[in-house]
Amino acid sequence: MDYRYGPLARKINLALPPPRLGDGAADVERLVAALGRRLGGAAVGVPLEVMRRVPHVLREAGWHVTATVGAFAPGHWELVDLEAGDTTGRHFGLAVDVGTTTLAACLVDLNTREVLAEDAAGNGQVAEGEVCSSYE
């Protein structure tokens, strides 16, 4: 298969400097600044449920973490997850095609773009689609 588009999620490995005397940046600010630099100055949002985990993960990991970000809008990313260490080698995605008659899904290694598994099934809503098309 030929994939013309890149994944909507990226994993970014970071080694952040720990806080020190005279550097009062909050953990989330430190993380967002580093991500913004790696993403070419793009804005990075952090949902509250992820924000609550940031201090613990940073300290547990000795400030060496992998951030998973998802494309939110042009020039804006959202922090989806934060993991200890370098987990960039394990980055997977699910491509789903919801068609009128068939549902298809592929598990993809986003690093290599290799399709690891795929399956398809008939769309149980096909009968409803036929009813709707009679109204056109």
Pick one of 3.10.180.10, 3.10.20.880, 1.10.10.10, 3.90.1010.10 as the CATH number of 9-84: 3.10.20.880
* Whole-number Cα distances in Å, 18 to 57, 84, 135: 12, 14, 63
The pLDDT, as a whole number, for residue 120 is 92
**End-to-end CA gap in the chain:** 35
Q: Which pLDDT value is given to residue 130?
A: 58
Could you tell me the residue ranges of all domains in the chain? 9-84, 92-133
Residues of the chain with pLDDT under 70: 1-6, 128-136
pLDDT of residue 36: 95
Query: What pLDDT sits at residue 1?
Result: 41
Q: Phi and psi at residue 58, in whole multiples of 5°? A: -60, -45
Q: What's the pLDDT at 133?
A: 54
Question: And the tokens for 82?
Answer: 């934060």
pLDDT of residue 24: 85
Sheet harboring 9-15: ordered strands across?
Answer: 9-15, 64-73, 76-84, 43-45
